[in-house]
Amino acid sequence: MRHIADWAVDSGDAGGLPFVIVDKLESRVFVFHADGRLRGASPALVGAARGDANVPDIGTRAISSIRPEERLTPAGRFTAVMGQGPKGEDILWVDYDSALALHRVVTNVPQERRLQRLQSPVAAERRITYGCINVPVAFYESVVRPAFAGTRGIVYILPEAAPAQQLFGSYEVRHEVSSAH
């Protein structure tokens, strides 16, 4: 994770914007200032299925038609922007066309126990969503929303099946970028 953060700043890939790194294997989210300083980190709920490639047309389908093996959080680099969700709530659209967002934890299905899952120390227990990234309400309010208010940013979702360097073309930075500031 730190490798991608340092590379994003050193290479200019983040474009001087705030950025997020989503580690699906650990089911965690890291939010950074544009200069690479960590703004905050949190456990997160991510897609129930394992995999890195997005399902074609997933963003145009009814949620009820999404099969269990399609409920994944795709790996990649995305330009994200704050916007409105289906109920008018503010969310961070990671990839609008595929209906992929980072938002407050959804708790409307009690048997999913999403709040309890967020607190679990076991990353595999935090794999439950249809693909979106759910974070605790307090983390969203105090870290995510302020980081992206009035600006766009970059979201890096780390792959599960291949090295991050292969997906992003990243390289080792000889010093931690954030320690230079």
Q: Which amino acid, residue 29?
A: V
CA separation for the pair 8, 61 (Å, rounded):
33
Cβ 78 vs Cβ 100: under 8 Å = yes
Q: Is 132 annotated in the active site?
A: yes
Name the nearest CA neighbour of 160 among 72, 40, 63, 71.
72
The residue annotated as part of the active site, out of 3, 33, 132, 175, is 132
DSSP letter for each residue of 68-89: GGG-----EEEEEEEEE-TTS-
Q: Which amino acid, residue 63?
A: I
The label of the residue with tokens 């300083």 reads 37
The residue annotated as part of the active site, out of 3, 33, 103, 175, is 103
Q: Is 175 annotated in the active site?
A: no
The order of strands in the sheet holding 133-135 is: 38-43, 28-32, 19-23, 152-157, 76-84, 90-95, 100-104, 133-135
Q: Which positions are annotated as active-site residues? A: 103, 132
